[in-house]
Each structure stands twice: as C-alpha cells, then as structure tokens.
Structure 1
C-alpha cells in the first residue's frame, strides 16, 4: 500500500492572536511528527484602541522569526529588536495615536518550513491630547524648598493613572509625595514636595512617562517629559516682622542681617503673610501698581516670594522705617544696597520663613503654598 503524506494547515486567530501550523503524517505512517509552530501577537491581530506606549510584540513557540517588520500606513518600519534568541521581536519606539500597523515576515520551524507573520491592529484615537510641562528644566540649580511642578494644559480626570506614570529619583534618600493642587491656567497641576526641605546639593531626576496614558474622558498624554537638576546650597531667609530685621542663613550659618520694613499690620490686605514663602522670580526693575492704594512705581532688585504681590525689594521711600516700623503694602522693604546684595544670592526655590503676623499664607495667595501644609496633609492631596 502506497503511503501518502497529508499536509493539514490550521490557522487559529483569536483573542490572543495565535496562528498555529501543525504538520502530521497520514494514518499508518511510521515517520515521527514534526513539532508545531505557534505565532503569538500582542496586541492581538485585529485589536483596536491599542495604547501606543506599550511594546508591540510577536513571538514564536517551536521555531524562530525571520525578517519580521511592523509598518505604518506610510510603509515606514517601526524600530524594534529581536529577543529570546530570535524567538521574539518587540518594538523599541512608541507608536502613534490613531494609526493602523501591519505585521510582515515569517516564522520557521525546525524543519525549515515557513509560517507567515501577518495581521494588523489599530491604536487608540484620543478625543483630546493633553500636554504636561515640567517647571524645573534640565541643568538648573534650585533652592531647598522648590517643589517639582507639572502643569497640564487641560483638566486631568484620572489623576491616579497620571500619578502612576510619575517618578522622582534622588542621589540621596529623600521622602516626598505628589499632591494635586486646584486647576490653574485652564488645566490641572501636580507638585512633588519633600517631607522636609531638600538636602542641599542633592541631584534629582524627575520622569513623567505621560505619552499613551489615559487621562479619562477620552484624553491622553501628548508626550513624555523628564528633567535632571540640582539642589543648591541651603539658603533660608528668616523674617520676623516684629524684629524689623531680615536674616539670611546659608548652610546653617548666618550671613546677613538687614534692617527691614514689613506690611502694615492694621490692614489685613497690607499685612505680610506668615508662613513659608518660596522665591519664584527675580527682577532688576519691577513695576508695581495698585489702584486701591494709588501707586504706580518701578522698584529695584525685586524678588517675588508669593503670587499675592509680596516681594523682597529696595524702597528708598521707606528707608526711615526700615529697622524700626512696618509701613509697607505687604512687601519686605530693604535699602537699595541690601536689596541688591540679597537679590544676587537668591535662587528659585529658596524658602522665606515669615513669622509674627496673624494673617497666614494660604491657597488664595497662589502658586507655591505647598509648605503651608503639614506633610501628612500634603500626602492627602495624592491621588494614590
């Protein structure tokens, strides 16, 4: 009786994207069976709404891959690399949103027979793509009270998903937490604050792997952002309004003692706020205007310490009060020489600890009020 070899090809494509080819001998054959070759796609062939940040992978059991490629609609191949001794291949670059990608290539079993690697899938089409911007750029040196801030250009609904994509690495151990603040400038914002002031001279890397993250409501992250920066020397201003002095400490040593005038205490709108302020900006010349109090002036050597109009700056007009009484509209007034000397040392993120008034710095004062909260309360602002 003449023997015949019957070849049976079975392609099964299901939720796991498995294509299987099995070769078996005819009934009564004494030839040993050839092991099967199984090709698995992740994401599955035909999948839609695929996240573009996770690697796309094809792998083969019982064989190796040969000349695999994943291409977009323009025919351009996505960067990738083999793994598992040639038994798998994965993309090494992000995919694009709202794009169909197609596999091509072959898998080969031990007998050299080829099994096609094919199929396609489509990535998610966002209703909106939201940008996040870090407020401390690469290579900067900042003060010991500087929080890490990310400002989004739209509202973030799924804050927990975003927060899971954020990480902070430091050259020395530093405890800290992310906290979500009220939306500002049309979008959500999140800060990372250490439990206590940063250790001076710490190296910090913040990574926000935001591309492909679902923000909720059909919105997704536009791009990853990262920054590596340094914490500088530990400079702290201690400003007791009742002393009429402003003291500057650097790395634990007092380096300056300036006569000062603070906000007039009889008017709550003019009282300098008590609490930990943070230096955010410096101006050699700053125009200061108040319709209510009737002034329009340009002041020298102005260092912003809050968003409610509080600055440390020169003011020759209040020189008679500096060191003896508080007459300002909330700012810390110094002589021109002293203001210049302080201006030259100030860094973004330096703390200015104001004490002695009955009006506390609060959320209404805007921007950086992170240090007005205890660390336990701050951690309560995390979404995780």
Structure 2
C-alpha cells in the first residue's frame, strides 16, 4: 500500500511516500519558510536529491509544487495519482470529537473547520492539505491522524482546569495536548534504545514547541493545553502568559480581542523578542553580539528548565530527556543552554558529543551520567503511516 503523508505545519509542509507495511520511504522532502520570498523546497528519492529556493506564498502552492515533482517523468516516483491508495494527514487539533485516527468525510472536515479558532496556525493549513489532496488524489482514502490523540492518557487531575466544572462537562474546555505523533514516536524509539520502559521527558523544539512527561510509554502531562499556544516559548507564539494581561490589553490599552489573539499567536515568542522567528537567524545574530537575541535564547532555555523540574516531580524520577524536532535535533547551542546547571537531576552534557551530527539516535551525556540525554530524530510521517495502515488494513 503506497501512502502519501502530508504534515502541514504553520509555516512548513513535510511529506513522504511510504510503501506499507514494509515502511519503505520512496521519496521525502519538505518546504519551509512558507509565505517568505526565500522558501526552501527539498525532494529526495533513491536516485534524486533536489533543493530549490523560491517564493511559495501559501500551503496550496506548496502542495501543488510537491505533486508536480511526484508525477514528473524524470524524477517522479509515481506514474499516476491512482498509484496512491491513501493519504495520511496530520491534523493538530481534534478537540473532544476525535481521540483516534479516522477516515475523512464531510462530517470530519466540518469538525476540523470548527476547531480553526483553537489552532489558527495549524488546523486551517491541515484542512487546506486535505482539500487539495482530495482534488489531486480522487481515488485515495483520506485519513486524519490527530496530534491530540497520544495525550488522551493524561489523567484528569492534570488535564482539568480549575474553572467551573460545567466548562469541562458541557463545553469540553480542558488540556488536550499537541505534537502527539512526534512525542509518541520519539518516546517509543527512546524506550527501545534504553531497553526498558522508562520515565522520560520528551522535548519537541521547532517553530512550535512542547514538552511531555511520559511514564511507561504513556503521556501523563504536557505543556500545551486547550490550544497549541501556551507552555514553552515558540517561534511566533508567546507560551505561558498571565491571563490578566489579556484583560489589561483590551480594557486599558484599547486592543480588540482579535488583535490580542493575533499578537499572541503570530507576533510574539522569539519573533516578538528578537524580530526573527527562525532559530538559525536568531543564533547567528546572538553569536554576533545581538543582546536581544542572546536574552531570547536564555529565556527560551529557562522556560524549558522549569518544565523539566516540574515533570521530574510528576514522574518521581527521570531516566532520560529527549530532544527532537528541527531545533531540538540541530541546535547544539539550545541543547547546551537547556542542560546547563542541571546536575541535580543527573543531567550532565558531554560538549564534544553534543556538537556531533547524526541522523540516528545520539546519546550526548557524559559516560557516567545518571540521566541519559538523547537526541532522537522525529519521524511523524512514519508514525502517521503506521496508524493509517493499521486503520485501513
């Protein structure tokens, strides 16, 4: 079964064609910096490795570009769209409607649209991917895999907010959690590496960021909540902020609610602190003496440390921390900032190991460290393909 995996992020599209159940990747690639003049596109097969820099204005344009490559006579890996039996879509927010992987129909699409306001940077992009895929692959089964599903094991004492009970029972306001396919995948890989079912903290650092406490392979607490907006500092999202700031901005400073929402979702985080949302640029400017970028990196790491401390308490111990996603896998500097002065928890980084590059799992702690520090490349696409295949098979 050939499955196309479409993982539309807030400013990126990752994609793969995977032959299941043998997990053979026929092609892979991504587009990042969507909406900028210098968007990057990569496309890789066994015999071709293409990289382009071009302007990609939105997700629809990006998806069409990807399909053109898949069907190209010289570099394509399929002859017809009918070669594809299923499309697996990563969908960020499933709300209370979806706790499992589902085949997409009009009702499912309607529910995904209803959740736009809870994940305005993601669900619209996910929905766009579904609509375009339906047009381009009319014979394929369209399947949604929800980021929120992995976190259904979070206990009530952790997912319930201290607000009137009716808001949970009637309006379903609670912690849902996100990046579930990534946290699930890297936790599984880390447990295999450690050769035991462990107490693990997985740290997903990309344009969106989150951290999860995992015990016996199950999510028991998580930094993102009702929407993918709180918790850690992100590319354009603020993370945790005192909620009274919102009322002050509206009632005293004259902001509208839409303006506040836009500010916290799209103008805050690292962008608001530095003027840049891309970590590569921020680290380069920090290295060259930009004090705002230096402080923003320290703030980012400090917030992660606070969550690690609280999750060690929740887990009553710690066997490993896991760095993953674009920043977690590639930024030795951010890993160093997070692990500094964490000896109390047994977290001691080996600087030389930390500077290494690998596409496989890396152990970057000192040899006799009590707590393992792992870098585990995430593969949400493989995890999505497995779930799609299990559902359809």
Q: Which range, TM-score by smaller chain?
A: under 0.3
Greater strand content? 1
TM-score, normalization by structure 2: 0.21
TM-score for both structures, normalised by structure 1: 0.22
